[in-house]
Structure 1
């Protein structure tokens, strides 16, 4: 149905400013959040409408594309879709009003964060849409995006962590951060080093946990933040003489984790004095999505890539030697000391609202096969979801085993239906006290006898 510019209605949708947090001008919502919106319409008098409704929906998808390794099939998983009718044509109200309010309550459920990752063509979007229909056809529609962030707690590190190579010793005070924090790494040279620089990059790693047998999609890495290069002190370290055999060159590329003392473990019997240190700082962007290891379509992880580079001269553009230390970290949304409320669940523990897709059904089968191979945990907190640090280490050490033999069908009970956002009834009221009515409360003369 085509309408002219004069006959076409105008519809807008916006969110109330007093609800939700703001990030770069956009509203951010979390599990259990309640937000309110307003739909405004301007309709010509001659136009007859049928219905005005609002839809709140979310989906995550990966577009079909090819890489150097393999062809990535398309994946699409609709998280939810909730519809609420604001007005419907009737004899009592043949025409809609100029504005309508609506209130939405998010379930206490951990959903994947809003993100658009171009290297894998992955996107997770949350949108609000308002539509006007005439004779069953949509003649006007307005849509706005929403930013969703799950609850991810950043846990403090009780003992600093150390990484070292033959060239430097790195002290890491924390491995969990919140968006907007400043990451500081303390680097100490272990020898007199001239024309050496150190810098750190924040790398975002997105992987596809559910892959078919003919897919070979490695984790995609993208640098989302970088620090400026800092020069290491050149003449402050004095090297002691070592009577042990020389250290193998391959040992310089290995990193060792230690949490005891301020000195690295003995490496080939050589010892070096450490006197000066430099600090490398990096700001975590506020718009960065948090770590997500429970997604059905993708997993989101982060790590710090500390690069120690040596240049032959001050004017060299390319380093002659370079050492890279990878430090896995977790990016959260809640600071240390905050506890999640009881009853918080994860969307991957439920069945899809619109049925299983490639990113849901195969993932559930793969997780069941892995759980049947791995030994059961012996900790008393086996019923709880593991922390971010343990999930990061387990995801890096466990890889799915591919078999050429067909696996027998697994009989499992059907999963429960996932809770979805709800539209609450909007109570219209004025900023005045309600009138006193003796039908609900007794009269004053009945309670206080007259004297």
Structure 2
């Protein structure tokens, strides 16, 4: 972390908290401020600027790299009067577009970050802060539980942090394991990893679990639950169910465009179908605020 510069995000506007960071999604508003350790840093600076950047890449040959966007805001420049401010506010509006979730995997990375730059002549000081994004992913409730011998499962769709439960109609030894599969470049390469396993009938899903998705032309993430049953008669059986990890509660529905249907925001010859970009919103000085209330009379509304 750069001691001279830092980025702070207001957590209240996020969906939830993950690793002490708010989680955002399509259409979210991200608010925060850039802090200078010493206001005298601006005395010889050219400008202070903030960039919100999003990219994805595969990590094996052939390497695929794709920068989604790079939206920039000038917080201060030397054309403005000298400033002794140490905090510079910003408000960022995300587009209503489905992007891949933030992922740091051996085969694939997708990240979103804010970076502040302090330009001073030929030198630049910078500091970055990662932003966690998740797409809107629906979940569906089963009408009736799925049955397999003495085993039944009431749902196949869950949210990160949920508890997955199965029911047993007779005493038996068992183990259930949740596995994640990450496939890249149209399944040219896959990697399976065990996420969590238990011998009880309850499986607690990690809060930081990457959601299931397959809308990206580059990568997909899926899950399977494997249950191994050891009956008292000595027979063994194995059943596998696909598990969907979503981000929306049961009944919520969305219909948003996928990032890959748009042309690149960096294509100078796009025909108007360019990817919608995150936008830094200007501060409303007047504001849509209520008139000041006086104790001796009613406020005057325009």
TM-score bin, normalised by smaller chain? 0.7 to 0.9
TM-score by length of 2: 0.85
Cα distance in 2, alignment partners of residues 77 and 46 from structure 1: 34
Distance 1:351 1:158, change over 3 A: same
1:144 to 2:133 alignment: no
1:173 to 2:154 alignment: yes
How many Å apart are 1:49 and its aligned residue?
0.7
Cα distance in 1, alignment partners of residues 260 and 42 from structure 2: 49
Distance 1:80 1:45, change over 3 A: closer
How many Å apart are 1:300 and its aligned residue?
0.7
How many Å apart are 1:144 and its aligned residue?
0.8
1:51–1:133 contact (8 Å) kept in structure 2: yes
**Residue 348 of structure 1 aligns to a residue in which SS?**
helix
How many Å apart are 1:178 and its aligned residue?
1.6
How many Å apart are 1:323 and its aligned residue?
3.8
Distance 1:9 1:323, change over 3 A: closer
Alignment of 1:271-286 (within 5 A): 280-286=201-207
Unaligned runs of 5+ in 2: 294-299
1:61–1:74 contact (8 Å) kept in structure 2: yes
Q: Which residue in the other structure is 1:262 paired with?
A: none
Larger-Rg structure: 1
Q: Which residue in the other structure is 1:402 paired with?
A: none
More off after superposition, 415-424 vs 144-153: 415-424
Alignment of 1:227-306 (within 5 A): 227=198, 229-230=199-200, 280-306=201-227
How many Å apart are 1:291 and its aligned residue?
1.0
Unaligned runs of 5+ in 1: 1-7, 65-71, 231-279, 313-319, 356-412, 436-440, 444-451
Distance 1:45 1:208, change over 3 A: closer
2:48–2:116 contact (8 Å) kept in structure 1: yes
User: Alpha-carbon deviations, 1:200-257, whole Å to 9, x = none?
Assistant: 111111111437xxxx52x311111212x25xxxxxxxxxxxxxxxxxxxxxxxxxxx
Question: How many residues get paired?
Answer: 291
Which of 421, 433, 440 aligns to 2:278? It is: 421
Which of 42, 46, 49 aligns to 2:45? It is: 49
TM-score by length of 1: 0.58
Q: Which residue in the other structure is 2:297 paired with?
A: none
Cα distance in 2, alignment partners of residues 49 and 198 from structure 1: 65
Which of 332, 336, 351 aligns to 2:250? It is: 336
Alignment of 1:29-108 (within 5 A): 29-41=24-36, 42-44=38-40, 47-64=43-60, 72-90=61-79, 92-95=80-83, 97-108=85-96
Cα distance in 1, alignment partners of residues 93 and 116 from structure 2: 17
1:9–1:43 contact (8 Å) kept in structure 2: no
**Residue 119 of structure 2 aligns to a residue in which SS?**
strand
Q: Which has the higher helix share?
A: 1
**Residue 345 of structure 1 aligns to a residue in which SS?**
coil
Q: Which has the higher strand share?
A: 2
Distance 1:205 1:415, change over 3 A: farther
Q: Which residue in the other structure is 1:207 paired with?
A: 183
2:92–2:281 contact (8 Å) kept in structure 1: yes
1:10–1:43 contact (8 Å) kept in structure 2: no
**Residue 32 of structure 2 aligns to a residue in which SS?**
strand
